[in-house]
A and B are shown apart, each in its own frame.
Chain A
Amino acid sequence: MAHLRYVAVLLFIALCGLGVNLFFKVQITRLWRAFLLTDICIVASYLLWDYWAIVKGNWYFDQQQILTIHLLPKVPLEEILFFIIVPFTTIITFQTLLKLTGWEKSRK
């Protein structure tokens, strides 16, 4: 079970985002194209930084607490999921606030 500790954190962040999306009926799926484009840019920049930092040894992971699945050499699968799930929940937060506050109606 220890191997699931990192991925459990990501699951928690994803569930927070999905829960808010459903509860406030944000309907983020309608905007999947914009999410895809945004996340491609985030992964292309921040995952590259992450990869570089891992190779240089800026940070490292306890092999007992990760899934030890590597799609990229040295980069745990969790790190790739991080750069998909965290932007997803960030965007849900922003969209929910736009909806609840009604601010910036003219901007949209």
Chain B
Amino acid sequence: MTFLRFSRDVAFSLATCSLSAATSGSDDMLDDSDAHDDATQPGGGGTAVARARARARRAAHRGAVAPWSAPCTLTPMAVVLERGRGQKRHLDGKRAHVTRGLAGGWTVVSLEDGGSVKWRTGHWQEEGAEPPAAKKTASEPAAALILSLADDQLRDIARQLDTPSVCSYLCASQRFAALEAGSCFGECHLRDGLPSGYGVAKCKQLAFARFLAAKHAKLHSLHVDMGRGDVTVLRLLLQECDTRELTTAQIRVEGARYGQMTRCSGVVIDWSTVHLDQSNPADTLLAEVGSEVKVDTKATITGVLAQFCPALRTLSLIYQGGDAEDVPSLGAIKSLHRLEVNLGEVCRPTSPQTLTPQC
């Protein structure tokens, strides 16, 4: 998916056009007789007010009540509810009557079997209206146009629109755009002590890592703090992401078995059995991640770095309470310019008298 960058003027033009189209549509729907009736009603407040009320009424009937519109009483309209969320999901498919519009894009609908409920405006289908598939086809060109705009411009437009499908597109486009080169997510930070406003909250790091892997994110730098058991997550990241331009990697491996990614992922770790090699929810979670790792992906950190990072120039590999376990594969990363690493010295003296130059 590619995103073209349009100028802000173009974005606002599109927003204006969209709003104008909605407004003009309402005008087209406006019945002069209704306006006349409103204007002639006691307390109607004159022709302009009457026309505005009639316009809002018609728009609400079509499911396009603007979020800034004032609450108004509507003529009951038979609809079939759809797209209910959460506790209202069970109301999908039920017949109801739209009775009263509320502020913020909500409407009160009265159910056929009694009672009323607040429902998102437009999340219904008028009885006898065209099927939703045809609607979707008709809105695709507009959605494609909106997707081609920059994120900040999209947000400005989103404030003016109340079409849920557009909001969905916006959410998707923002997440995709975040994976573009130069964006903050190009730097994958899964680390301790990082404010979640800048990076990713601890409880979401594992999910974020899987999201990056699923989207084959293009990584330029990598900074991961993890436990010994979390190596699977790093293997999955490097296997699935686009690491052709990954030049900097800082990896800290804690001495503990589970790093923050696992500890904060919502699993309850029974620490009394962790060291007994018994089944643990954390292991189950990591096994689930590991199932996505291919068989031919190297097992060690240095091995997977050598396998998937051809442009790696700077590597800081810090083992707390250990040494790099696979130095030969570290030597296979020929592009390295800067290296910081714990190394295991083969010559381990046992006493001062055995200190010899070489073993």
Real binding pair = no
A binding-site residues for B, Cβ under 8 Å: none
B binding-site residues for A, Cβ under 8 Å: none
